[in-house]
């Protein structure tokens, strides 16, 4: 029952309130990305109107976020239960009883999460990880409802309860821990640059005076702004960066090596250069209050890493980057 939601999912769960060769491929993926919402406004709950004459209460100061180690997540509790043994009243049991796992994903990030132009199915490394979480909850890997989102919407859909999980090349950071929760790291990426095949650039340091694209709401765009002499060009999605690149409106694209590898596979006139200039630890995003779900997801990831499923998924989607590495070691110790 794998489906794609074009609009916010509406469920019965307590938290859910609303529901070259490359040009052709990029065009298909760009249309796929447009099947999701066009902005964040439709993801925010309407504010209640202020009562006439009522004084606005001063906002309580926000408690400082405790984040000695952004990779530290909530440890699994005991053996992973089967679908029929999920604790009553748990987030996982509610999802099982509802009948589907609602997930925020990309539909235009080749190899990680992209719509196959032939089958129409969204597929990739991130998607297969979600299939395994579905299998653990339902005994069926295909009980997923996809909510296609942009990078900039990842926090919003979790904060507003639009989705149960987000798997979208989502880098774990202390700042993001202030509003959501993360699983343990399940993939370690690094930021590189994509340039034209005839470019003499060997890395981002060689792009002074040039226009470099990165999606809005990403750590890659933030990091790009730290390089003097480079003109950052934000775009809504990675695919829009690729379109601008192919049109000659930007000179390069910066992003995680996983994403750029997909671009290079689409465009024979492009290449990925340089050493990684950052560490990008990917985690599954979870609503902050669903600590039990974080522990459960971490249990699924532990099983995948130990029984070979993680390596098999890597080989299928990311084998072009080289042999499957050792999966990232989980870091635990965070307390609610």
For the segment 38-55, the average pLDDT, to the nearest whole number, is 34
Q: Looking at the domain 191-273, which fold is it?
A: D-Maltodextrin-Binding Protein; domain 2 (3.40.190)
**What pLDDT band is residue 2 in, cutting at 50, 70 and 90?**
low
**What pLDDT band is residue 66 in, cutting at 50, 70 and 90?**
low
What is the structure's pLDDT at 1?
A: 61
What is the structure's pLDDT at 275?
A: 87
Model confidence at 52: pLDDT above 90: no
Burial 37-66 (b: 16+ CB within 10 A, else e): beebeebeeeeeeeeeeeeeeeeeeeeeee
Q: Tell me: the pLDDT tens digits for 127-159?
A: 999 999 999 999 999 999 999 999 999 999 999
Q: At what angle do helices 91-98 and 125-138 cross, to 10 degrees?
A: 90
Domains 21-36+71-188+280-323 and 191-273 share a fold: yes
Model confidence at 239: pLDDT above 60: yes
Most confident of 1-10, 88-97, 273-282: 88-97
Q: Tell me: the pLDDT tens digits for 160-215?
A: 999 999 999 999 999 999 999 999 999 999 989 999 999 999 999 899 999 999 98
For the segment 102-124, the average pLDDT, to the nearest whole number, is 95
**What pLDDT band is residue 36 in, cutting at 50, 70 and 90?**
very low
Q: Tell me: the pLDDT tens digits for 254-285?
A: 988 888 988 888 888 999 998 888 899 999 99
What is the structure's pLDDT at 27?
A: 43
What is the structure's pLDDT at 319?
A: 87
23 vs 113 pLDDT, higher one? 113
Model confidence at 301: pLDDT above 90: yes
Q: Do residues 86 and 96 touch, judged by C-beta distance below 8 A? A: yes
The residues spanned by each domain of the chain are 21-36+71-188+280-323, 191-273
Model confidence at 96: pLDDT above 90: yes
Q: Looking at the domain 21-36+71-188+280-323, which fold is it?
A: D-Maltodextrin-Binding Protein; domain 2 (3.40.190)
What is the structure's pLDDT at 320?
A: 78
Model confidence at 10: pLDDT above 80: no
């Amino acid at each position: 029952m794998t489906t794609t939601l074009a609009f916010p999912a509406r469920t019965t769960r307590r938290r859910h309130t609303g529901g070259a060769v490359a040009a052709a491929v990029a065009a298909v993926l760009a249309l796929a990305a447009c099947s999701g919402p066009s902005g964040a406004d439709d993801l925010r709950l309407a504010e209640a109107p202020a009562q006439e004459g009522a004084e606005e209460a001063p906002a309580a100061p926000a408690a400082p976020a405790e984040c000695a180690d952004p990779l530290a997540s909530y440890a699994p509790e005991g053996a992973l239960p089967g679908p029929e043994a999920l604790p009553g009243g748990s987030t996982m049991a509610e999802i099982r009883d509802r009948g589907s796992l609602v997930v925020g994903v990309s539909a235009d990030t080749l190899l990680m999460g992209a719509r196959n132009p032939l089958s129409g199915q969204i597929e990739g490394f991130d998607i297969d990880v979600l299939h395994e979480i579905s299998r653990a909850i339902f005994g069926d890997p295909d009980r997923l409802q996809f909510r296609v989102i942009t990078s900039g919407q990842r926090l919003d859909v979790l904060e507003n309860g639009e989705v149960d999980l987000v798997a979208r090349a989502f880098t774990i950071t202390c700042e993001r821990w202030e509003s959501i929760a993360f699983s343990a790291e399940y993939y370690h990426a690094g930021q590189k640059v994509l340039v034209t095949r005839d470019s003499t650039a060997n890395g981002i340091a060689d792009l002074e005076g040039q226009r470099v694209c990165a999606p809005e709401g990403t750590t890659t765009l933030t990091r790009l702004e730290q390089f003097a002499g480079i003109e950052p060009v934000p775009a809504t999605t990675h695919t829009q960066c690729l379109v601008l690149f192919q049109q000659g409106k930007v000179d390069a694209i910066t992003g995680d090596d996983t994403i750029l590898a997909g671009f290079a596979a689409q465009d024979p006139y492009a290449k990925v250069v340089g050493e990684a200039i950052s560490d990008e630890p990917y985690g599954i995003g979870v609503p902050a209050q669903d600590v039990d779900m974080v522990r459960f997801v971490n249990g699924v990831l532990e099983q995948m890493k130990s029984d070979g499923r993680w390596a098999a998924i890597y080989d299928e989607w990311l084998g072009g980057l080289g042999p499957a590495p050792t999966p990232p070691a989980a870091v635990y110790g965070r307390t609610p």
